[in-house]
Amino acid sequence: MSETQGWSDLTSQQKKSGLAAWLGWMFDGLDMHIYTLVALPFVAQLMRLAPADPAVAQHGALINGAFLVGWALGGAFFGRIGDLLGRSRTLCLTILTYALFTGLSAASTEWWHLMVFRFLSALGVGGEWAVGASLLSETWPKRWRPWIAATLQTAVNVGVLLACAAGWLMRSVVDPRWIFLVGVLPALLVLWIRRAVPEPEEWHAARLRVEKPPGIGDLFRGPVAPVTWLVMGVCAVSLSAHWTFMYWQQAYIRNLPELAT
C-alpha cells in the first residue's frame, strides 16, 4: 500500500474502517462501564441484601473479575476468528456479542446470572478491540497508524461518558437493571458496518498466500514471544489500575456520609 500525505489522500474505505473501529470501541466503553454505575445496588437487589453488606461488594467484585477474564479470552478467541472469517465480519460478531449479553444482563434474577452475562459480553468487548485494531493496521498507511491508534483510544473514554450520561438520565428509574438495555444500542451499528466496510485487501492477500493462518501458540514462539510477553505485562498493569479505580470509586462515592443518608 502506498504512503499517503494527508487526510484528503485517504480512501473512502480507510476512513470508513477507521470510523467503524472507533465507534465499535466507543460502544465498548459504554457497555463496559454501565455495570460500574449500578454494581452495588443491582447486586444487592439480586442477593436480597442491603448494599452496605460486605457480601455485596465481594460478589460485585467477582462479577467484575469474570468480566476481565472474559475480556482477555475474547481478544484471543475473536482475534482467531478474525483471521479465519475476516475483520469486518468478525467486528460485527463482537459488537452483536457485547450488545446482546449486556442487554440480557437486565434479565438477571440471581447474582451468578449477572456474572455469566457479564463474562459473555466481555468476550465481545475484548474481541472488538483486537479485531478493530487489526482492521486499522491492515487498511491505514504505516505513517498514520500511531496516530489512528491513539485516536482509537479516545473512543473508550467517550463511551464511559455516554455510560455516565445514561446513568444520569435514568437516575429516577427505581430498578437499576434497566440501564443495561442501553447497551443493546450498539447492535444497530452492525447494519452500517456490513454494508459500508469491506474486508481489507491485505487480509484477502494473506489468505491467498497462506494455507493455514498462524495459531495463538505462535505468539509465544520465536522472535515474537518477547513482544507478546512485554505487551501482556504492560496491559495487565495498566488495566488493573484502570479497573481498580473505575469499579471501586463508585463504591467509595456511594458510601460517602453525605450520600449514604
Does residue 142 belong to any structural domain of this protein? Answer: yes
User: With DSSP H G I counted as helix, E B as strand and the rest as coil, what are the percentages for the chain, rounded to 5?
Assistant: 85, 0, 15
Cell numbers for 61, please give them. 467484585
- Domain extent, residue 159, equals 12-203+210-215
User: Measured between alpha carbons, how far is 173 from 48 in angstroms, rounded to an integer?
Assistant: 19
Nearest to 25 by CA among 114, 135, 100: 135
Using an 8 Å Cβ cutoff, are 159 and 25 in contact? Answer: yes
Q: What CATH number does residue 195 fall under?
A: 1.20.1250.20
Does residue 1 belong to any structural domain of this protein? Answer: no
User: Measured between alpha carbons, how far is 123 from 50 in angstroms, rounded to an integer?
Assistant: 31
Does residue 66 belong to any structural domain of this protein? Answer: yes
Total domains in the fold of the chain: 1
Does residue 36 belong to any structural domain of this protein? Answer: yes
User: Measured between alpha carbons, how far is 195 from 67 in angstroms, rounded to an integer?
Assistant: 31
The 10 Å CB-count burial string (b at 16+, else e) for 182-201 is bbbbbbebbeebeeebbbbe
- Each residue's pLDDT expressed in tens, for the chain with a length of 261 residues: 445 456 677 888 888 888 998 999 999 999 988 998 898 899 999 999 998 888 998 999 899 889 989 998 998 899 888 888 888 899 999 999 999 999 999 999 999 999 999 999 999 999 998 888 888 888 888 888 788 888 888 998 999 999 999 999 988 888 999 999 999 999 989 989 888 888 888 777 777 777 677 777 888 888 989 998 998 899 888 878 877 777 777 666 666 666 655
Q: Measured between alpha carbons, how far is residue 174 from residues 30, 32, 112, 184, 185 in Å? A: 21, 22, 22, 20, 21
* pLDDT for the residue 177: 93
Task: List, for residues 73-88, the tens digit of each pLDDT value.
Answer: 998 899 888 888 888 8
Does residue 245 belong to any structural domain of this protein? Answer: no
Residue 39, C-beta contacts closer than 8 angstroms, at least 6 positions apart? 60, 63, 64, 247, 250, 251
Cell numbers for 236, please give them. 495487565
Does residue 258 belong to any structural domain of this protein? Answer: no
Does residue 224 belong to any structural domain of this protein? Answer: no
* pLDDT for the residue 11: 83
Task: List, for residues 178-235, the tens digit of each pLDDT value.
Answer: 999 999 999 989 989 888 888 888 777 777 777 677 777 888 888 989 998 998 899 8
Using an 8 Å Cβ cutoff, are 25 and 128 in contact? Answer: yes
Does residue 4 belong to any structural domain of this protein? Answer: no
Which phi-psi region, left, alpha or beta, contains residue 199 (left: φ > 0; alpha: ψ -120 to 50)?
beta
User: Measured between alpha carbons, how far is 105 from 111 in angstroms, rounded to an integer?
Assistant: 10
